């Protein structure tokens, strides 16, 4: 049974890792936020495959 992006509960860790990096490569820019007390910092992570 397919769960997400062609993966399922029997997918190996390597298959999951490969699919994750494939999708990150397509998306490329990923927002990330951190919170410390009342302060929130937001950054955009730019992933490039070398």
Nearest to 5 by CA among 21, 26, 19: 19
Residue-number span of the structural domain to which 32 is assigned: 13-46
Number of domains in the chain: 1
User: Is residue 18 in a domain?
Assistant: yes
Q: pLDDT tens digits for 2-34?
A: 688 889 999 999 999 999 989 888 889 999 999
User: Is residue 38 in a domain?
Assistant: yes
Q: What is the pTM of this model?
A: 0.58
User: Is residue 4 in a domain?
Assistant: no
Cβ–Cβ under 8 Å, residues 29 and 46:
yes
User: Is residue 8 in a domain?
Assistant: no
Quickly state the pLDDT bin for 35 (edges 50, 70, 90): very high
User: Is residue 34 in a domain?
Assistant: yes
């Amino acid at each position: 049974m397919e769960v997400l992006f062609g993966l399922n509960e029997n997918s190996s860790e390597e298959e999951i890792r490969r699919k994750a990096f494939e999708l990150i490569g397509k998306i490329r820019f990923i927002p990330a936020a951190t919170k410390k007390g009342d302060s929130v910092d937001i950054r955009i992570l730019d992933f490039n495959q070398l």
